[in-house]
Amino acid sequence: MGTNDHLLEFTIPQLLRWRVRKTPDRPALREKDFGIWNTYTWKDYYDHVKMTALGLTSIGLGKEDTIAIISDNIPELVFVAVGAHSIGAMSAGIYQTSMPREISQILTYLKVSAIFCDNQEQVDKVLEIREEIPRVKKVIFEDSRGMREYLSDDWFINIQDLFELGKKENLQHPDLFESMVDEGDPDAPCHLCLTSGTTGLPKGTMMTHKNYINMGLKITEVDPLEPTDEYVSFLPFAWIGEQMNSFGVAMATGITINFPESVETAMSDLKEIGPHFMFGAPRIYETIRSEIWLKIDQSYRLNKMLYRYFMSVGLKAAQYRMTGKSMPLGLKIKSWLGKQMIFRPLVNQIGLLRLRRAYTGGAALGPELFTFYQAIGVNLKQIYGQTEITGIAYMHRDGDVRPETVGKPLPGTECKISDDGEILSRSASVSPGYYDLPEKSEELLEGGWLHSGDAGFIDEHGHLVVIDRLSDVMHNNKGEMFSPMFLENALKFSPYIKEAVIYGNKEDFIACLINIDPIVVGKWAEDRGISYTTYMDLSAKTRVAELIMEEVADVNSRAEKPHFKIKRFALLYKLLDVDDGELTKTGKIRRKFVRERYQNLYDCLYDVSIEEKDVEASFQYQDGQSTSVKTHIKFYTVKGDG
């Protein structure tokens, strides 16, 4: 039992109240607005939740209701969510990038009664589908810019007006809020978290107060946090990765959550705060690594030479740090010099100097990327879990980081591998199931274990190794198994490759579609006097294809078995995109959809006689409109692997 396990007896609002009694004046939330950081203490946080909850009550919402949140990360978002929890209602996060039709389907499925939007852009989406969502009683908004014409319509309410209603309700019923909070049940669902939706409409995972608080307590048993620690909230709130920090870790530890001024300024605001811990999807770390490589590439020749030398030193030192072994004195001195001269200033420039630990999850990360970050002094560790187990169930420990694994179970988490190789888990963080989908819930929790849908095994060190999604593991036409995700990650370690989609199920060989990284490859092309106009034009350059050919050949040279080698590839004329349905909101490839969308390219990859072809490229914009252009695409056979 952990020292703070008594907190599992609380709901999130009850835990918030407990925090106020302990440290009322400590900073709980901080928001950057017009360049200035504004602070909410734990008491301020509680008072705003109180006014929000009573305001929701006064507009007719209660225990049977669900309140959807479509918003960038701002304090009002958590006021509404925890306010909803306080009255016994449920909150539900919807991605800000969702289109009106998708929002309509989700609101209808989750039986939503009210919606919180941060600005006019999101309000307009809801207004467009108003006739399709008759259950919605109110739309609450935070930013009043552009909203003047809506104020005469009582379907809309400014959150400041909601606070005022809450204050009036408090004057009339001064004990109502406390009594509602007292009635809360830790085992009751408080939030509906959408799954990633790789195969269709997302499912609403019912998350309880105890799910979040247990996860927050257990992760900090492994990696303790100080109440003075800072966290920057820049992940989409609709993703479990953000909720587990906002609801779980922050409430369990008392850390401060910092909200950037906007999505666009998130990385520069992160530099101002200098967080002590950070959580992000692999794409964030891949992007930061690309920025580092660009900085080095643009640096003086001496700096480049020093970087290369000390990177080789750092990679050796990282092996000792990750395994907890004692480092030889000579290597320790060289590693310290490299840190002071090269890596410390570099890490400071990206805002990670105070970082004690960084976590990544949501998708697999190549082992090379772990070693890279450890080499420059960033303690990056893999976590593994899923929405249905509150995001985290397994993680690396300091001094026991094995890049090819996802670590060991958190305290109180049980793990076993089923007969068909599926990873099964059990803990107090496991969701009770999916909203209004009893059959799917039964499948998910069959036999009292959470069924992950992932294939894996436990190695001799007690670490969990994730192979791939059970449904994604492929076999060639000889029945030899391979993991497309593993190969995709190996390719994406190249700074020139942003995304890769591996094929080869029931085929003679492995082939893939590749997205080049427009920033890194663009800089590479400029340095060599290669002119280009668009991403499509850059992707079609012969010299770019030759560059990628070298990267694919390098991956092939490290393949453990011959059937892991990639034989054919093509450079895709556009970046895979969430708006086009090719990626989930968390950046995972929707493999079946991508295969169907690019079936003509797939067919050409597997016809070795085809070297080039004219195709029609279709693009969809954020407003739902689409366009098509004709382009020419080439198909390449990797040298030496035919």
3-state secondary structure 546-568: HHHHHHHHHHHHCCCCHHHCEEE
How many helices (H) and strands (E) the chain has is answered by 23, 28
pLDDT surpasses 80 at 343:
yes
Cβ atoms 204, 92 nearer than 8 A: yes
- CA nearest 456: which of 491, 483, 478, 488? 483
All residues at 6 or more sequence positions from 6 whose CB lies less than 8 Å from its CB, including other chains = none
Cα–Cα nearest to 16, from 83, 72, 66: 83
pLDDT at position 16: 98
pLDDT mean over 543-561: 92
pLDDT at residue 531 tops 70: yes
DSSP-H helix ranges across 245-324:
250-253, 266-273, 282-297, 301-323
The predicted model gives 134-148 an average pLDDT of 94
How confident is the model at residue 2, as a pLDDT? Answer: 64
pLDDT higher at 618 or 316: 316
The DSSP symbol for 116 reads E
**CA dist 27 → 40, 230, 236 (Å):** 6, 10, 22
Per-residue pLDDT tens over the stretch 388-418: 999 999 999 999 998 888 999 999 999 999 9
CATH topology of domain 41-184: Rossmann fold (3.40.50)
pLDDT(367) > 90: no
Residue 172 has pLDDT above 50, yes or no: yes
With beta carbons less than 8 A apart as the criterion, state whether 26 and 42 touch. yes
Indicate whether 565 pLDDT > 80: yes
Which among 256, 293, 289 is positioned nearest to 275, based on CA atoms? Answer: 256
Strands 612-620 and 626-637: antiparallel
Q: Taking CA 44 as the corner, what is the angle to CA 40 and CA 45, rounded to the nearest 5 degrees?
A: 80
Tokens linked to 458: 């436990």
Task: Give residue 1's pLDDT.
Answer: 55
Task: Give Cα separations from 504 to 490, 560, 638 (angstroms).
Answer: 16, 17, 15
- Mean pLDDT along residues 295-320: 90
pLDDT recorded at residue 583 = 85
Mean pLDDT score of the chain? 91
Q: What phi, psi does 280 have (nearest 5°)?
A: -160, 160
For residue 413, give the nearest of 386, 436, 440, 435 by alpha carbon. Answer: 386
* Helix, coil or strand: residue 397: strand
Q: How far is CA 48 from CA 85, 121, 180, in A?
A: 13, 25, 15
Question: Dihedrals φ, ψ of 232, to 5°?
Answer: -105, 120
Q: Which helix (H) or strand (E) holds 54?
A: helix 42-58
Burial 459-496 (b: 16+ CB within 10 A, else e): eeeebbbbbbbbebbbebeeeeebbbbbbbbbbbbbbb
Under 8 Å between Cβ of 264 and 253: no
pLDDT in tens, 473-514: 888 999 888 889 889 988 988 889 999 999 999 999 999 999
Domain 474-637, second-level architecture: 2-Layer Sandwich (3.30)
Give the distance from CA 255 to its chain's centroid: 20
Domain ranges for the chain: 41-184, 283-384, 474-637
286: nearest Cα among 466, 465, 494, 488: 494
Residue 160 pLDDT: 96
Q: pLDDT above 90 covers what percent of the chain?
A: 70
Q: Is 523 helix (H, G, I), strand (E, B) or coil?
A: helix
Question: Which has the closest alpha carbon to 431: 207, 189, 203?
Answer: 207
The C-alpha atoms of residue 452 and residue 100 are separated, in whole angstroms, by 30
Q: Which amino acid is at 478?
A: K
Cα atoms in the 13 Å half-sphere on the side-chain side of 254: 19
CB atoms within 10 A of CB 563: 16
Strand 256-259 versus strand 204-208 pairing type: unpaired
Distance (Å, whole) CA 181 – CA 209: 12
Asked if pLDDT for residue 148 goes beyond 90, the answer is: no
By mean pLDDT, which of 121-130, 182-191, 375-384 is the weakest?
Answer: 375-384
Q: How far is CA 438 from CA 65, 98, 135, 208, 568, in A?
A: 19, 26, 22, 17, 44
176-188 pLDDT, tens digit per residue, is 999 999 999 999 9
Whole-number pLDDT of residue 96 = 93
Please determine, for residue 199, whether its predicted confidence score (pLDDT) is greater than 60: no
CA distance 260 to 267: 8
pLDDT for residue 190 is more than 60: yes
CB burial string 300-323: b at 16+ within 10 A, e below: eeeeeebbeebbebbeebbbbbbe
Task: Round to the nearest angstrom and report the end-to-end CA distance of the chain.
Answer: 57
Lookup result for tokens 């909101």: 585
For residues 120 and 100, what is the distance between their CA atoms, to the nearest angstrom?
A: 14
What digits encode the pLDDT tens for the residues 440-453? 999 999 999 999 99
CB 445 within 8 A of CB 461: no
642 pLDDT more than 50: no
366 versus 487: the higher-pLDDT residue is: 487
Token digits for 377? 């002094």
Quote helix, strand, coil % in the chain, to nearest 5. 40, 20, 35
pLDDT at 259 over 90: yes
- Cα separation of 389 and 394, whole Å? 10
The separation between CA 325 and the C-alpha centre of its own chain, rounded to angstroms, equals: 32
Q: Across residues 336-362, what is the average pLDDT?
A: 89
Question: Taking a C-beta distance cutoff of 8 angstroms, is the pair 259, 75 a contact?
Answer: yes
pLDDT in tens, 8-66: 999 999 999 999 999 999 999 999 998 899 999 999 999 999 999 999 999 999 999 99
